[in-house]
Amino acid sequence: MGGPFADVEETLFADKDVLSEEYQPDTILERDDEIEEFRNALSDILFGRNPKNVFLYGKAGVGKTAVTQYMLEALLDEVESRPEADDLHVHSHNCNGDSAFAAVRALVNQLLPPGAEEFPKRGLGLADAFDELYEQMDRTGGTHLVVLDEIDHLDDANDVLYELPRARANGHLQHARVGVIGISNNYGFRQRLSAKVKDSLMEEEISFSTYDAVELRTILQDRAAMALVDDGYDEGAIAKCAAHAAKDSGSARQALDLLRAGAEVAEERGAERVTEHHVEQGRERAQRGRLRDKIEEQTLHGQLVLEAVAHLEDADETPVRSKHVMSTYQSVAADRGEDPLTTLKSIQNHLSDLSMLGFLTRREKNNGRAGGAYFEYELDLDPDVVFQVRSER
């Protein structure tokens, strides 16, 4: 007798991985200008010269990392046929949450020869890590490109970006050259750097704009042709994904996620093609999933206050003042077996935070001398989403 998965078959996906975040396309679409700027910035490497430092700026999902990987793979191939070029070594690291020491240590460990012990996490300082990094680079020789993704999240970025670009000029490297490629979602990152770092970097900046709907349709059509079976989608579905993503974030990642979600809905429904309707259903499902995650990230009492407003919304008693929320919150807390907060100010603080996060809409009311000024609140999402999350706690 077959198990619960015995009858599961793919009907619409030809290669679902093509729609995943990890997929690296063979050809980069709608980024010709950025590729040309990148090509010019990296060309010195082909002639054995010191590499330029390159910084890429743009929102998440606009192709910075994909273009970087594409260009570096092409550069590694080209270097093989260029007699003037030194051997090229690429070291990539995501800096999210790292200290300068942790980032340099990670680079050192990438360069250590097979069988060598990793650089220790404790007992040595940043200067020791840099000394070991330079020793390993010189041992290896050639040109080293250090790719630091999410560099705006690196603590003490000044220390890394002052040291690396000047390593050869300061005599730390004799047999190797080094360049930095920084990738950042924060356009203001450079302004946070010290004056001496800005002077030493002398970097080439490449700005990645958000995609418009036409560009997103081109990207989606290319991926859909590979990811889905022949005649497995309507052009309207592609247009719907592109329009939503262009209006929201301008992110190719979001557009591809919408297409994948729509195709999953269509497959679950036993449909032969992905339609606009499936995309809308997939979008609603994804939005609910994101909301669930955001709700679960709140503190216990933040969730209880949100649940109280959801009950008031469900009973058609909103907009509502904070003192009414407090009485409902106390009932909710009692039902959940939790000790409630006892001051109106604490409830108002939670209501303010929930409003800033987009869970609630807050409107100021002013009744003049008769009642003064105060705020009213109402839920800015489906209360069933809140109830479902809270029922699982």
Whether residue 188 is annotated as binding a ligand: the answer is no
- The pair phi, psi for residue 268, each rounded to 5°, is -60, -35
**CA 225 → CA 28, 75, 166, distances in Å?**
15, 28, 47
Residues 233-287 have pLDDT tens digits of 999 999 999 999 999 889 999 999 999 999 999 999 999 999 999 999 999 888 7
Q: What is the mean pLDDT of the chain?
A: 93
**CA 226 → CA 36, 46, 249, distances in Å?**
26, 34, 24
DSSP helix/strand/coil, 205:
strand
Whether residue 211 is annotated as binding a ligand: the answer is yes
- The pair phi, psi for residue 149, each rounded to 5°, is -80, 150
| The pLDDT value given to residue 248 | 87
| The pLDDT value given to residue 369 | 65
pLDDT classification of 392: cutoffs 50, 70, 90: confident
Tell which wins on pLDDT, 10 or 268: 268
Whether residue 62 is annotated as binding a ligand: the answer is yes
| The pLDDT value given to residue 8 | 64
End-to-end CA separation in angstroms for the chain:
36
Residue 186's Cβ-side half-sphere holds a number of Cα atoms within 13 Å equal to 13
Q: What percent of the chain has pLDDT over 70?
A: 97
> 3-class secondary structure for 155-181?
CCHHHHHHHHHHCCCCCCCCCEEEEEE
DSSP label of 247: H
Residues 202-241 have pLDDT tens digits of 899 999 999 999 999 999 999 999 999 999 999 999 999 9
| The pLDDT value given to residue 97 | 80
Model confidence, pTM: 0.76
Whether residue 196 is annotated as binding a ligand: the answer is no
Residues 150-198 have pLDDT tens digits of 999 888 899 999 999 999 999 999 999 999 999 998 888 888 899 999 9
Whether residue 63 is annotated as binding a ligand: the answer is yes
What DSSP string describes 36-65?
Answer: HHHHHHHGGGGGTPPPPPEEEE--TTSSHH
Whether residue 65 is annotated as binding a ligand: the answer is yes
Whether residue 269 is annotated as binding a ligand: the answer is no
Tell which wins on pLDDT, 323 or 365: 323
User: Which of 151, 137, 143 is CA-nearest to residue 107?
Assistant: 137
Instruction: Say how far apart CA 36 and CA 25 lie, in whole Å.
Output: 18
Instruction: Say how far apart CA 222 and CA 233 lie, in whole Å.
Output: 13
Mean pLDDT of 122-142: 96
| The pLDDT value given to residue 11 | 84
Which domains occur in the chain, in start order? 31-207 (3.40.50.300), 212-295 (1.10.8.60), 298-391 (1.10.10.10)
- Residues in contact with 350: Cβ distance below 8 Å, sequence separation at least 6, in sequence order: 301, 302, 305
Tell which wins on pLDDT, 385 or 8: 385
pLDDT classification of 2: cutoffs 50, 70, 90: low
Residues 70-112 have pLDDT tens digits of 999 999 999 999 999 999 999 999 998 889 999 999 999 999 9
